[in-house]
Amino acid sequence: MCVYLLIAYFKFLNDLKKSPMEILRILSLNWFEKRSLTELFDPPDKKRDHYEARQGCLL
């Protein structure tokens, strides 16, 4: 129950539109990445997506 309250508080503070279950799913998939929580929930940059798409074509 404590985890749910922390997730709900985080959702409230950052005005996220995702459900608490989606937030928990994102957090569980990113255990070992060194990024801030706000970076996980910001939309990705189009420039970064374009760069990653180009890298995938090279391999």
Domain ranges of the chain: 2-58
For 6-58, how does the pLDDT look when each residue is reduced to its tens digit (9 = 90+)?
999 988 988 888 898 998 888 888 878 787 777 777 766 655 555 555 555 54
Q: pLDDT value at position 1?
A: 84
Cα 20 to Cα 33: distance, rounded to the nearest angstrom: 20
Q: pLDDT value at position 9?
A: 92
pTM to 2 decimal places: 0.58
Q: pLDDT value at position 58?
A: 47
Please say whether the beta carbons of 54 and 46 come within 8 A.
Answer: no
pLDDT at 5 over 90: yes
